[in-house]
């Protein structure tokens, strides 16, 4: 690299080595809607599509698409999740939550909410066409029903 001043060469070599070490395909995953498989999960009135992120991140993060289960009876109960991060982004339809200290929040397509760790909340209602993306850390978070 004749264009690089001599005193920069060691620094460039350091970054070049660091880049080679961090470039990897480990954990790479792709999930296509055309191959989607939904199953009942945490809430009986929702169906969940795993996006493969838990396996790709070795349990650090879970991501799934959640949709309203057709014909399922709705019974949202107050609960909290033992998480370090939780984000919900509504893809289609709408959902209403009651958040402790914040009251009723309606999320519509394009809306998102960051739910701080252990915030008490419950689902109040949702549209029949609801679809949302949820990303949570850690992947093996627990859920507790609360009064």
For residue 85, say if its preceding peptide bond is cis, omega within 30 degrees of 0: no
Write out pLDDT tens, residues 67-121. 998 877 777 889 999 999 999 999 999 999 999 999 999 999 999 999 999 999 9
Can you give the three-state secondary structure of the chain, one letter per residue?
CCCCCHHHHHHHHHHHHHHHHHCCCCCCCCCCHHHCCCEECCCCCEEEEECCHHHHCCCCCEEEEEEECCCCCCCCCCEEEECCEEEEEEEECEEEEEECCCEEEEEECCCEEECCCCCCEEEEEECCCCEEEEEEECCCCEEEECC
Q: Is the dihedral of CA 3, 6, 11, 12 positive or negative?
A: positive
Record the tokens describing residue 14, joined without a space. 């350091």
Record the tokens describing residue 65, joined without a space. 């698409």
CA distance 98 to 122: 5
Whole-model pTM: value is: 0.78
Write out pLDDT tens, residues 32-81. 888 888 987 777 788 999 999 999 999 999 999 999 988 777 778 899 99
Which domains are seen in the chain, by residue range? 26-145 (2.60.120.10)
């Amino acid at each position: 690299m004749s264009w690089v001043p001599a005193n920069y060469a060691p620094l460039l070599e350091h970054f070049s080595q660091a880049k080679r070490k961090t470039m990897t395909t480990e954990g790479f995953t792709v999930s296509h809607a055309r191959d989607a498989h939904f199953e009942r999960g945490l809430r009986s009135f929702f169906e969940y599509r795993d996006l493969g992120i838990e396996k790709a991140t070795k349990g650090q993060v879970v991501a799934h698409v959640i949709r309203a289960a057709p014909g399922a009876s709705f019974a949202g109960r107050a609960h909290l999740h033992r998480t370090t991060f939780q984000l919900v982004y509504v893809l289609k339809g709408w959902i209403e939550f009651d958040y402790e200290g914040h009251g009723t929040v309606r999320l519509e397509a394009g809306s998102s909410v960051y739910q701080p760790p252990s915030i008490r909340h419950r689902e109040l209602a949702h549209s029949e066409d609801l679809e949302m993306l949820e990303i949570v850390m850690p992947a093996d978070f627990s859920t507790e029903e609360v009064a």
